[in-house]
Amino acid sequence: MIETHDVEGPRWRGINHLALITDEMDATVRFYHGVLGARLVATIGNPQFRHYFFEFGVQNTVAFFEYSGVTLDRFAKPAGVPDPRAVQFDHLSFNLPDEHALLNLRARLKSAECEVTDVVDHGFIRSIYFTDPNGIALEASWWALDATGRPADYGDEQLFSDPDPVPAVREIRDRGEVVTAPHTRLA
């Protein structure tokens, strides 16, 4: 084990975002925003993927990736029941208060001989990426432009940058709500 007492410990502020995977972003928006009432606070989109963020508290979000041209094997499993097919989880992002805290955490990880990326600028968040000893992909982020805890501005291209959003996002932008929502079943 490596000593880390020479580097200031992080000042955690919750979970920045839990990143999950969907093969149907429109249904995901309709469910999380329309059914659960988790506000859609930001979108990223390009030809390879979409990445949408839903608020579950100030600076705490759940985000979904939808990858273009990738067929996913879907399945359902009850919570807490192990299943080797459980592939929905992508990574966990911890929330930090500012750039100083992010840089300090990066230094702390490096001093512990943990591989860590340089700071990645996603526009509205800045992040570093690393893994835990179990191989779980982790991220630490701070909101450079905080999308949570304020009214959503769906015309803000910094936060809503997907040039071709799914129909549910257009409904939220135009009507303030989704028109329909998907039905779900327990596994």
What residue numbers bound the domain in which 80 lies? 15-175
Q: Partners of 64 in the beta sheet?
A: 20, 52
CA distance 74 to 93: 24
CATH code for the domain of 115: 3.10.180.10
Question: Is residue 1 over pLDDT 50?
Answer: no
Which tens digit of pLDDT belongs to each residue from 19-31? 888 888 999 998 8
The answer to whether residue 183 is domain-embedded is no
Which tens digit of pLDDT belongs to each residue from 68-103? 999 887 665 565 577 776 656 678 888 989 999 999
Question: Is residue 164 over pLDDT 90?
Answer: yes
The answer to whether residue 126 is domain-embedded is yes
150, 39 in Cβ contact below 8 A?
no
Q: Partners of 19 in the beta sheet?
A: 63, 91
pLDDT band of residue 2 (cuts 50, 70, 90) is very low
Number of domains in the chain: 1
The answer to whether residue 35 is domain-embedded is yes
Q: What is the pTM of this model?
A: 0.70
The answer to whether residue 142 is domain-embedded is yes
The answer to whether residue 181 is domain-embedded is no
